[in-house]
Structure 1
Amino acid sequence: MARLLPILTSLLLAGSPLVVQAQETDTTLPHSGGHDGMDHGNMDHSQVDMPGMGMSGQDMKGMDHSAHAMPESTVSDEPGDAPPPAPPTDFPAERFFEPDRMAASRAAMIEEMTFRTFALQVDQLELRTGKGGDGFGWDGRAWYGGDIDRIVLASEGEGTFAERAERIELGAYWRHALDPWFNLQLGMRQDFRPDPQRTYALVGIEGLAPYWFDVQGQLLVSNKGDVHARGKASYTQRITQSLVVEPEAEVDFAFQDVPALNVGAGFERLEMGARLRYDHNRSLAPYVGVNWERRLGGTARIAQVAGEDVSGVSVVFGVRAMF
């Protein structure tokens, strides 16, 4: 019995379909140890028929394989200007709830998203010390409203201790969002200093310019008919999570001589500065910096005749607050 077992195993393997198929297959392709020695360059694929795909070798030979190349990507990282999609008119929740109830729910949600709030922001409240003596300066605003429309009360000024302030300005205007980046300003400004006082009609624009510059431009027409313009620009650069440096510049322009205010036509004043702020607590952030101011053009000549300084540099210590 032990001798018959090997004989029966050999007979079964010889009659197996796998063995017969292996014997009938032509394995005379030249090789020397696997596919490493196979010459694929000399193989004529035109002689190979693919009955399962309905293609012959001649069809494959004439096939344009470039049609199967990967198409070039049309995705761009540039923002587009396509119109927004239309608001939806079908709501899946209405399959389960009454349409009137769902309409009231959507209206309540939109009402909750419309906010009105009050805020106070003091960008600069500082002590200035320099060759001309110790002085002070401020720049801040309070506003009430939402993200589209606001009523703004803004003030800025400067002066020297033990003397009357050189500038005291108070403005009130309506701020309306033109787009996600810029806002329109319409209102008025009252100058309490220098004397004599002036009241101006104000129109301006403010917003975030490319490369993250905060810019503002205003055109002012006084109750006496003189026209002025002001431009501001600043940039906030974060050095660490808590340290922020903010350079800024402000320039005033007069369209005509205003002898009562000792202002000459043309560029009348340029102010530049840079402040390093510790912004760990944004509600109250101290800073230190430098501020430079210079009178220009005809305004500078008037100041020289009056014996006043044309320019001055001061070191500033102050605080920025938000409530």
Structure 2
Amino acid sequence: MFKYNYSAVKVNQVEGRVVTNNDVEPFLESLPSVFLVSIVGKSVQGLPIKTITIGTGKTRILMWSQMHGNESTTTKAVLDLINLLKEGSDLASVILENCTLKIILILNPDGALAYTRVNANWVDLNRDAQERTQPESVVLREVYDDFKPDYCFNLHDQRTIFNVGATSMPATVSFLAPASDPERSISENREVAMRLIVAMNVALHKLIPGHVGRYDDSFNSNCVGDAFQMLGTPTILFESGHYPDDYEREQTRYYIFIALMEAIETIARNKIEKFSMDPYFDIPENSKLFFDIIIHNMDHLDAKYSAGESVGILYVETLVGSKIEFVPKLEKIGDLSGFYGHKTYNCLNSKDLEVIQKTPNLINVLK
């Protein structure tokens, strides 16, 4: 993994959970002319949707981020990828000589500004692949049809609730080779996507063993990944998840960068056939067994709770100004012995009890 000097290519001026057109514009303006930055359409509210095109190779890779406006981790990782290609290296030369990359950095700029999953018409763009009722959906499909990609990378974030399989490991990165039919058969292009995921998982296993999951592969033709897989293009879903104590997703950003680089290098060096698809099925499917906070034996804090009762709390990501505040919300009360907490407290423990009592936003939500 030392072939990437990540600290030298990380775009430090873009950090945190809120990433908008305004945040990325200074970086885009700094790019040399070999990076072709184009406006390919506008959002519902008239904000520009831009692509960055780089490379001269015959193999075409299309990727798009922030289809959901509040899913910005991959946007940050893509900026780091672009910066690596800008800085130049032997690896960058190999990629740019063999591949042409087209990147939609922020597909849903209205949602990014409002920090919402949906666009300004309250439509989930990832359920609009067939009818394409929204201007952003039209833009993506027009770019796809015009560029005719050989590979598609569909870049997303996932919530903190996901764990890997039946383990207590948070799903820091998850992948999916989407199905192209209800039977979830393995088409030739889906198999290629599986092989690429295996290549990325091999690299990530060296860094975060046990933290990589496989996303649910139920078929939905209205989802963009499924739709492009139906059109015969190997398509990969990337899901950026939680890493311990990394609610700003800066550590996960690094792992997504690694995954992107491994996938692109594997394509550029024509090494896909060296990876079997079989290990793809060894990647555990995600489960939803995490709370942000679990507090056990609540009756020792407040008599209104039954003996031994636990509570599960999830954060609501709330936009305040230009920053996200993580506001606790009581999600579940009862026996949570089958669940995990990113933080766990036990009211039988005097130190835990003291921490809870000195945390006003926790006390307020528990009243």
Pairwise same-fold verdict (TM > 0.5): no
TM-score range for the pair, normalised by the shorter chain length: under 0.3
Structure having greater relative contact order (Cα 8 Å, sep ≥ 6): 2
TM-score scaled by structure 2?
0.19
TM-score scaled by structure 1?
0.21
| Richer in helix (by share) | 2
Q: Rg larger in 1 or in 2? A: 1
